[in-house]
Structure 1
Amino acid sequence: MSEPAIKSKLVECKPLLKWAGGKTQLLPTILPKIPSSFNKYIEPFFGGGALYFSLNPKNAIIADSNPELINLYRSVADNVDLVIKHLSHFNNIEEDFYAARALDWTKLSPHQAAARTIFLNRTCFNGLYRVNKKGQFNVPFGKYKNPKIIDKKSLLSASQLLRKSEIVCGDYKDVLKKFAAPGDVIFLDPPYLPVSEYSDFKRYTKEQFYEEDHHELFSEVMRLHDLGCHIILTNSNHPLVHEQYGKFQVEVIPTKRYISCNGTGRTGEDVVVTIPPKPRFNLKLVPAALPAQALKYPSTRYMGSKNKLLEEIWAIASQFDFDTAYDLFSGSGIVGYMFKSQGKAVISNDYMTMSSTFTKAMVENSAVTLSEKEAIALLQPHSETDHFVESTFAGLYFSDDENKLIDTIRTNIKQINNKYKHAIATAALIRACLKKRPRGIFTYVGHKYNDGRKDLLLSFESQFLEAVNSINNAVFDNGKKNKSRNGDAMTLIPRKEKSLVYIDPPYYSPFSDNEYVRRYHFVEGIARDWKGVEIQEHTLTKKFKSYPTPFSSRKGAAEAFNALFKRFRNSVILVSYSSNSLPTLDEMVALLAKHKSHVDVIPVNYKYSFGNQGNKVGNNKNDVQEYLFVGY
């Protein structure tokens, strides 16, 4: 659904009852997990309804097996003024309390019974609602000096919301079987584990909820997951919860226990489990040949390059109507270039200057080339160099003559005024360095990985001129205004036109590191001319400190994905992701489902060209599935 499923809050809604086990404390954690759009909201263990009243959904089913509780909500929805009138007859004195408690609510009119329920809840000890085996309310008088028995504003606003919801008395399984449908958000707040005489359900009903009931609940949750519902479940931090829901996103939250059988045990840990709809495979990899122009992008040995996935990426993207393509983590730049070759306006972004140099030269640039004469001139010394590479990196990556040549080219590039010629020359220098380096990375010194490749045998001059020629051949005009940006993807402001956002971030994995700066610090230094970086002189490789990135930890990666999905929630979102990365597939779907109505996952068999897992090639989990997540 494109229309928001949450009503703008013209009137603040608050729970009508004080409720032991209520979820007010957890609202800051739960509310961000609710998708921005959904079909309807269902809460079958309603209780005090803190989430419902805070969320204020347009279309809701609220249910509970406690008939007295359901009578209260139905009566407030039906005629709140009459409930308020009956409530005004009660006084906060012990005699009135026990007289009201002795009444059989089933013998009263619905609105009188509702008023009695509110009065007892507001004046009893700790707001606890507990019944005996006969179903009779048996909590003692609370002795509060001035409880707010009549909260007219809350009652009126609650009535307005409740009138628009369907209020059901029944077992949660019957409610979910009847009402749950694909696209619904379902909040489950069952009686907490461990099951004991103090468990929540015994406070509110004469029925019981045992451990086997939690197993039945899990089966129902899996049914809803398969059905296509977005489920949020709360419980205590109990081993069974982790055992059952461990493959989903389980967040442990410290909470206060306002009611406890042990006066010293008023703190605890709740868990919030997010179970997204089961990924649908509605989108197919429809064969979609790439135009000849897309194949003109110079190949690189850039780790993580999606050169081998271009057809699959376009096969998915081509099924959507969009004018602008965002390539948020452009890396080698090849995906943004592919979108440009398909006639899309491209906004290419990367936090590494090296990557934005590639896309400045070949994505943003539509017409400018660097002539052979100009390229040859860059190889000739015209003025004194700063000898920076020659002195700083002597004996590490290249020969002394090659280091001198790199300094010469660097010095000459600084004299180029045209930004696109400057980018072409810099990109060509970077490309030459990568081609002349065994494995194309700078995490080691010397040439111990020299495998005799042709690239390693060519002179540096030849590599540079060949790179200029390859980049020139890739320059073309697609009739659109394209943009190369060097910056944090989190700060990119989306445009209003129809767009698709492609996200290929550094993967966080227990099998590898994702520090691209560590691998490419030397060529990143060339792109930045080592401005604004701090070389770590004590290191053998003379690397500089990596840029801070939220994708360096599991928690940081999850928070970053959530922030990006929220920022680009009005666009089609297409994410490349490796099966050996974290967050997991289910966690990624849950994050994306918070912001998009439909989430599909398309697995693609993929083999990394060379190791990025920290072990030797052939024993490093190179064979993975690449997931293409699509949110729309």
Structure 2
Amino acid sequence: MLSKDLQIAEGDFRGCRPLLKWAGGKTQLLEEIIPKMPRKYGRYIEPFVGGGALFFTVCPVDGVIADSNPELINLYRSVARDVEGILRHLRQYQNTEEVFYAVRSQDWTTLSSSEAAARTIFLNRTCFNGLYRVNRKGQFNVPFGRYRNPKVVDEDALRAASRLLKRTTILCGDYRDILREHARPGDFIFLDPPYLPVSVYADFKRYTKEQFYEEDHRELADEVKRVHERGCHVLLTNSNHPLVHELYSPFLIEVVKTKRYISSNGKGRTGEDVIVTIPPKPRFDIRLVPPPLPEQVRLYPPTRYMGSKNKLVSEIWSVASQFQFETAVDLFSGSGIVGYMLKSHGKTVVSNDYMFMAYTLAKGMIENNEVTLDRDEALGLLEPRKPVDHFVETRFRGLYFSDKDNRLIDVLRANIKAMKNPYKKAIAMSALIRACIKKRPRGIFTYVGHRYDDGRKDLVKPFSEQFLEAVKLLNAAVFSNGKKNRARNGDAMTLKGRDPGLVYIDPPYYSPLSDNEYVRRYHFVEGLARDWKGVEIQEHTVTKKFQSYPTPFSSLKGAAEAFDRLFRRFRESVLIVSYSSNSLPTLDEMVALMAKHKSHVEVVPVDYRYSFGNQGHKVSGNNNAVQEYLFVGF
């Protein structure tokens, strides 16, 4: 559903469409351009309006359109003032060669404004290919088109356009003057300048009176940067030319295939355009002054979980606390610390993750407000009371734990499966998972045996003690914030419901230097959480892992598309996204993606050191120190 600023030709403007055929018009690119527009903006400004394909599709409130072509501007002004007079003149014209050349020979500046506007429409609809071309004297010189039945009198389109143009500021002048006088922070500016001459564009300059050369495009880029600094949203189209990539390298540049209708070479009527997305420079200064965390947050069980934001939770709250919100979504909850922190601040929290082990922990710590697992119940789970299937003992013998520990894991599995209370069950399973991770060197399952033994006491502590200590820690963290919080296991892309006030996004980071597969590292404990239901163990692998879950964040293209979908889905919410400096998309690309859907985007850098390395021996001895970014959209 589009906002009121992006209503597409509805109500009084239904039937609104461009009045002229226009070389270089953007009709065929509308499906690419419109989704890149900001959802909300101040005024719509288009200083190279031409045929106005985007303008007449979007029908903006209080728009500003301009062009340096006075005949074109006369047309739009006349349609706004006297559409019925233009229709009367148009009905007098006949589609004959004799009438065409007689009308073409007229000097439009000697005619009334409405007759001059009718002349412009008639010549455009009946001339060859709908071109607008003038000679050095400024006289229209395109030949007769010989079309059998061109639609010269389009009453519906003209009347709808008149209603739109009546509420539009229509100016004739240089784009620099237009922007300097009218562009204000928060406005949306669409720039479709004369294209750079490349391949099929070599012919294009002949078809327009206004010509842009390299120095003109450089001046335009300077003006774009000025309005960007002032806080305007900008979309710019041009040919796929190296100079365009050079001038707008700090911003998101997308290449799209297009058809050409003006090339003299019939075989060359295809080409590539670029759409440059230039977000406004933020006008607000989000300060990173971490406030003290509530004591409740300190009770959350620490973890070595890959990507855990335990060390960043104070900085995340420092940013989040600057916004007013009551509901929040932790979209990729992982260790659950961010959702728990938001719960401790009295927010209604939805904690989501595609990993069942993460969901189980969130069920016990975030959705659960009061249920604990007392010590006697925990002790009882260590005793064989239910039939034991010996699944772990036989399937994973000799891989991760001793036979004794494997047998105990199977006993715990059987007893936990029989528990009735979902929150006690979640606490017990989370304690089992925690005990398994604590008993593994490095806390992961990408290798077998104990060759990475780091001498930690956890590795020699009995499994039963690890389990009971985990239960104690989890029990101590259970509390009520008086809200109905929820844990969800599912794809972040499919989360439905009312738009929350704040959405925190901490997805798997994509980098060509390291993988982001959580299942590969934690397949054993993820299997415990799922009881290996719905997964197929790959028996040929040494670690007996199962297939990783599909995720769009496993490739650069997939990650960019996923971010775009998420930002669009939660465009009404405050967005906070964690991402690192060694991940892709790049910082500038992330800002441009978010700016398509948010009025303001801030980047807050945070120095950070990861618990897990990024194959440091392969990356110039990387010591895991990176810059973590918090992208903030509001």
Change (3 A) 1:374 1:602: same
The amino acid that maps onto 1:54 is: T
Q: Note the C-alpha offset of 1:609.
A: 2.2
The answer to whether the 8 A contact 1:78-1:163 is kept is yes
Instruction: Give the C-alpha shift of residue 195 in structure 1.
Output: 5.9
Q: Does 1:270 align with 2:269?
A: no
Out of 204, 210, 235, the residue aligned to residue 208 of structure 2 is 204
CA displacement at 1:494 relative to structure 2: 3.1
Q: Quick check: 512-521 or 39-48, which moved more?
A: 512-521
Contact 1:536 1:542 in 2 (8 A): yes
Deviation at 1:579, TM superposition (A): 2.1
Specify the alignment match of 1:64 in structure 2: 67
SS of residue matched to 1:15: coil
C-alpha separation between the residues in 2 aligned to 1:201 and 1:34? Answer: 28
Aligned to 2:82: 79
Q: Give the TM-score taking structure 1 as reference length.
A: 0.96
- Paired with 1:386 and 1:375, the residues of 2 have a C-alpha distance of 20
Q: Is the 8 A contact 2:197 2:205 kept in 1?
A: no
The equivalent position to 1:624 in structure 2, one of 623, 626, 631, is 626
8 Å Cα contact 2:616-2:623 kept in structure 1: no
Letter in 1 for 2:249: G
Alignment of 1:26-425 (within 5 A): 26-194=29-197, 198-205=202-209, 207-280=210-283, 282-425=285-428
Distance 1:201 1:169, change over 3 A: farther
User: More deviation in 64-73 or 213-222?
Assistant: 213-222
Corresponding residue of 2:531: 529
Contact (CA 8 Å) 2:100, 2:144: kept in 1 or not?
yes
Moved more, 593-602 or 351-360: 593-602
CA deviation vs aligned residue, 1:561-617 (integer Å, no higher than 9, x gap): 222222222222222222222222222222222322222222111121231457579
CA separation in 2, counterparts of 1:154 and 1:308? 60
CA distance in 2, matches of 1:220, 1:348: 44
**Aligned partner of 2:589 among 587, 593, 598:** 587
Q: After superposition, what is the alpha-carbon deviation per residue over 1:364-396, rounded to whole angstroms, capped at 9, x for unaligned?
A: 111111111111222222344222212222222
Q: CA deviation at 1:313?
A: 1.1
CA distance in 2, matches of 1:165, 1:621: 58
- What is the CA distance between 1:501 and its match in structure 2? 1.3
The separation in 1 between residues aligned to 2:214 and 2:381, in whole angstroms, is 76
- In the aligned structure 2, how far is the partner of 1:107 from the partner of 1:238? 41
8 A contact 1:40–1:59 mirrored in 2: yes
Contact 1:303–1:612 (8 Å) recurs in 2: no
Output the CA distance in 2 between the equivalents of 1:618 and 1:408: 46
Judged with a 3 Å threshold, the aligned counterparts in structure 2 of structure 1 residues 36 and 386 are, in CA distance, closer, same or farther, namely same
Q: Offset of 1:445 from its aligned partner?
A: 1.9
Unaligned stretches of 5+ in structure 1? Answer: none
2:66–2:175 Cα contact (<8 Å) kept: yes
Counterpart residue number, 1:430: 433
2:64 alignment partner, SS class: strand
Runs (4+) of structure 1 exceeding 3 A deviation are: 195-202, 612-618
Query: What is the CA–CA distance in structure 2 between the aligned matches of 1:411 and 1:99, rounded to whole Å?
Result: 94
What letter corresponds to residue 422 of structure 1 in structure 2? K
Aligned residues: 629
> 316-325 or 64-73, which moves further after superposition?
316-325
**Alpha-carbon distance in 2 for matches of 1:146, 1:230:** 42
Deviation at 1:346, TM superposition (A): 1.1
Shift of 1:64: 0.8
Contact 2:198 2:239 in 1 (8 A): no
Task: Tell me how far 1:135 sits from its aligned partner.
Answer: 1.2
The amino acid that maps onto 1:480 is K
The worse-fitting range, judged by mean Cα deviation, of 44-53 and 212-221 is: 212-221
CA distance in 1, matches of 2:214, 2:130: 26
* Percent identity for Structure 1 against Structure 2: 68
Q: Is the 8 A contact 2:66 2:178 kept in 1?
A: yes
Instruction: Label 1:59 to 1:555 Cα distance change in 2 as closer, same or farther (>3 A).
Output: farther
Q: 2:5 maps to what in 1?
A: 5
**Residues in 1 aligned to 2:541 and 2:133: alpha-carbon distance in whole angstroms:** 67
Q: CA deviation at 1:117?
A: 0.6
* 1:129-181 C-alpha deviation (Å, 9 max, x unpaired): 11111111111100000000011111111111111111111111221121112
Which amino acid is the alignment partner of residue 203 of structure 1? Y
Residue 627 of structure 2: SS of its match in structure 1?
A: strand
Between 533-542 and 614-623, report the one with greater CA deviation. 614-623
Residue 540 of structure 1 is matched in structure 2 by: 542
Mapped contact 1:333–1:359 kept (Cα < 8 A): yes
What is the DSSP-based 3-state SS (H/G/I as helix, E as strand, rest coil) of the residue aligned with 1:405? Answer: helix
Aligned to 1:506: 508
Contact 1:195 1:209 in 2 (8 A): no
Q: Indicate the SS of the match to 2:27.
A: coil
1:574 to 573, 576, 579: 576
Q: Which moved more, 1:292-301 or 1:82-91?
A: 82-91
Checking the alignment, whether the CA contact within 8 Å between 1:80 and 1:156 is kept in structure 2 is yes
Q: Does 1:477 align with 2:480?
A: yes
Tell me the amino acid that sits aligned with residue 223 of structure 2.
Answer: E
2:207 maps to amino acid: R
User: What is the one-letter code of the residue matched to 1:235?
Assistant: N
Number of the residue aligned with 1:488:
491
Q: Would you say the 8 A contact 2:86–2:115 is kept in 1?
A: yes
Deviation at 1:454, TM superposition (A): 2.1
1:451 to 449, 454, 468: 454
Residue range with higher mean Cα deviation, 84-93 or 211-220: 211-220
CA offset at residue 199 of structure 1? 4.9
In the alignment, the residues of structure 1 paired with residue 372 and residue 263 of structure 2 have an alpha-carbon distance, to the nearest angstrom, of 75
Q: 1:617 to 1:552 in 2, by over 3 A?
A: closer
CA distance in 1 between counterparts of 2:112 and 2:573 reads 53
**Per-residue deviation at 1:243?**
2.4
* 1:109 to partner: Cα distance: 1.1
Letter in 2 for 1:553: S
After superposition, the C-alpha distances for 1:459-513 in whole angstroms (9 at most, x for unaligned) are: 22111111111001101111111111111122222336x6211111112222322
For 2:217, what is the secondary structure of its paired residue?
Answer: helix
In structure 2, relative to structure 1, the CA distance for the partners of 1:17 and 1:272 (3 Å cut) is same
Matched, 1:609 2:611: yes
- Offset of residue 447 of structure 1: 1.9
Note if contact 2:281-2:600 (Cα within 8 Å) is conserved in structure 1: no
Amino acid at match of 2:33: I
**What is the one-letter code of the residue matched to 1:413?**
I
Q: Could you tell me which amino acid in structure 2 is paired with residue 564 of structure 1?
A: L
C-alpha distance after superposition, 1:429-467 (max 9, x if no partner): 111111111111112222222111222221221111111
TM superposition shift of 1:621 = 6.4
Q: Could you give the per-residue CA deviations for residues 157-210 of structure 1, whole angstroms, max 9, x where no partner exists?
A: 1111111111111111221121112111111111112268845454121x4211
Looking at structure 2, the residues matched to 549 and 614 of structure 1 have their Cα atoms a distance apart, in angstroms, of: 25
CA distance in 1, matches of 2:450, 2:240: 53
- CA displacement 1:401-452 (0-9 Å, x = unmatched): 2222211211111111110111011000111111111111112222222111
SS of alignment partner, residue 307 of structure 1: coil
TM-score, normalised to structure 2, is 0.96
Q: Say whether the 8 Å CA contact 1:574–1:630 is kept in structure 2.
A: yes
